[in-house]
Amino acid sequence: MTRMLNKQILHLILFGLLAVAITACGGDEPMPTATAVSIEQNTAPNNAEPTPTVSEPENITVTEEPDPVETETIPPTAAPVITFQLEAWADNWFAAYLGEELIVEDSVSITTERSFNAETAVFEASYPLTLNFILKDFKENDTGLEYIGTNRQQMGDGGFIMQLTDVGTGKVVAVSNADWACTVIHEAPLDKSCENESNPVAGTAPCAFIDLGEPDGWKSADFDDSSWTATTVHAASAVSPKDGYNQISWNPSAELIWGPDLETDNTILCRVTISSE
């Protein structure tokens, strides 16, 4: 590399001297123009390794996932347990249930003549309440008659009334009325002239009857009672309540109910759902 540079420098010197000589001689020939030579001196040897490029590390933000939050499952608040008092009177017999559980039934047998007693029962429950009732008028057999073969042979007549009181507040929270769902499951006689038969026979005209029995699951809260429309309010003058009826101080809103016919509707099922206010 040094020799090459010395040689190039020598050429420049010679061209310069030649130009001076020509000028001194006054020659018309133009002076050759020296070509500029750009000399780059590479001080690095040809076989030098390239200098590695070092990149500065990038700032990397690491986002840490938060620890999962443990949530406590809180059970729904249980409805408060309330003490209730149920008061009822029937002609002739009834049984009251909270759902499937018996609350009280008439303490006097259905076969007892002229049973007009009342019952009072206290129980605990939470809203909503599903109350179910079986109501029966006395009959000797499926003719629907009583005192058969005597001069008092006749069709009986029914009637029922109830009120439910919150013992803690003293407030009446439910009464029997037309809003109840009731259905007749035993009806007899289908022809009232059966009452005048000297020898009435159930199932033989005019003493035919209907006995449907209790439908399955009718005491459950989700039972569909939308077709139970037989509930009928009757005047006290028609039912003629007596005896145990007068032992209870009835709320004015409590009404006497039964099926449409006090005489031929012998067994009735009723339901009512009571929600908190």
Select the more confidently predicted residue: 190 or 3: 190
Residues 113 and 36 in one domain: no
5 in a structural domain: yes
56 in a structural domain: no
60 in a structural domain: no
pLDDT at 129: 97
**Mean of pLDDT over the chain:** 84
Least reliable range by pLDDT among 20-24, 180-184, 205-209: 20-24
What is the distance between the alpha carbons of residues 218 and 174, in angstroms, rounded to a whole number? Answer: 20
Residues 129 and 17 in one domain: no
What is the distance between the alpha carbons of residues 153 and 146, in angstroms, rounded to a whole number? Answer: 6
What is the distance between the alpha carbons of residues 259 and 137, in angstroms, rounded to a whole number? Answer: 11
**Averaged pLDDT, 201-216:** 98
Residues 90 and 218 in one domain: yes
Give the confidence band of 39 by pLDDT, cuts at 50, 70, 90: very low
Residues 104 and 32 in one domain: no
Q: How many CA atoms lie within 13 A of 61 on its CB side?
A: 1
Select the more confidently predicted residue: 177 or 117: 177
Q: Kindly report the CA angle at 177 between 172 and 180, in degrees rounded to 5?
A: 105
Phi-psi group of 144: left, alpha or beta (phi > 0 → left; psi -120 to 50 → alpha; rest → beta): left
74 in a structural domain: no
Residues 112 and 34 in one domain: no
66 in a structural domain: no
Residues 154 and 249 in one domain: yes
Cis link prior to 32 (omega < 30° from 0)? Answer: no
189 in a structural domain: yes
Kindly state the tokens that stand for 252.
Answer: 């004015």
Residue 147's domain comprises 82-274
Residues 96 and 26 in one domain: no
Residues 234 and 105 in one domain: yes
Select the more confidently predicted residue: 15 or 75: 75
The neighbouring-strand residues paired with 86 are: 121, 164
Give percent of the chain above pLDDT 90.
66
- Give which of 39, 46, 118, 110 is closest to 85, Cα–Cα: 118
92 in a structural domain: yes
Residues 88 and 200 in one domain: yes
Give the confidence band of 276 by pLDDT, cuts at 50, 70, 90: confident
Residues 192 and 268 in one domain: yes
State how many domains the chain has: 2
pLDDT at 3: 53
Residues 199 and 268 in one domain: yes
Residues 194 and 133 in one domain: yes
45 in a structural domain: no
